Amino acid sequence: MTRSGLSLPGPMLRTALIAAAATFALAACGGDTLQAPTDVGVCWHMVQMKDGSYRFNKLAVNQPNLENCAAELEGMRQRFNRLGAEQDQVVGAYQGQFLFLQREGVFTARNLHTTRYLAMVRTGDGRLAIPGAIKQ
């Protein structure tokens, strides 16, 4: 028994300490404090730099909604892939939301390390669609 009255076996204590250290390290890296640009109607492509910082590149303006921004990011990904980039995942931003284009579809989140929510799915031929828009 320890001073606090809690007793943890060695492996459990080590696991708890490692989890706590990982949580603090993740918070220290600034990923949770990084904010997506909030400019109205602007679609951004996010790039992680070699030093670990992030840069947002303006991709398109006058975008009426998140779906149009996702389409712009998908078009950019396809053009890069035709040049040999082989990118499966792209990260962007639209009006304060992060967009994550993945093989399964498009997910959104308020920051880089929170739960991501499905915004669009991929059809059988790889196009993006709003969930529920495709009839089974």
Give 99-111 pLDDT, tens digit per residue: 999 988 999 999 9
In DSSP terms, which residues pair with 107 in a beta bridge?
Answer: 100, 118
Domain-located, residue 68: yes
User: Do 84 and 113 fall into the same domain?
Assistant: yes
User: Do 62 and 91 fall into the same domain?
Assistant: yes
pLDDT at position 33 is 84
pLDDT at position 126 is 82
Q: How confident is the model at residue 134 (pLDDT cuts 50, 70, 90)?
A: low
Checking if the pLDDT of 121 tops 50, the result is yes
- Number of CB atoms found within 10 A of residue 25's CB: 9
User: Do 98 and 64 fall into the same domain?
Assistant: yes
**pTM, whole model, 2 decimals?**
0.72
User: Do 25 and 7 fall into the same domain?
Assistant: yes
Domain-located, residue 123: yes
Long-range pairs for 109-114: beta carbons < 8 A, 24 or more residues apart: 110/36, 111/31, 111/32, 111/33, 111/34, 111/35, 111/36, 112/31, 112/32, 112/34, 113/26, 113/31, 113/32, 114/32
User: Do 22 and 62 fall into the same domain?
Assistant: no
Domain-located, residue 134: no
* Lowest-pLDDT choice from 9-23, 33-47, 65-79: 9-23
User: Do 17 and 43 fall into the same domain?
Assistant: no
Give the range of the structural domain holding residue 8, as residue numbers without chain letter: 1-30
- Looking at the structure of the chain, the number of domains it has is 2
Domain-located, residue 135: no
pLDDT at position 24 is 42
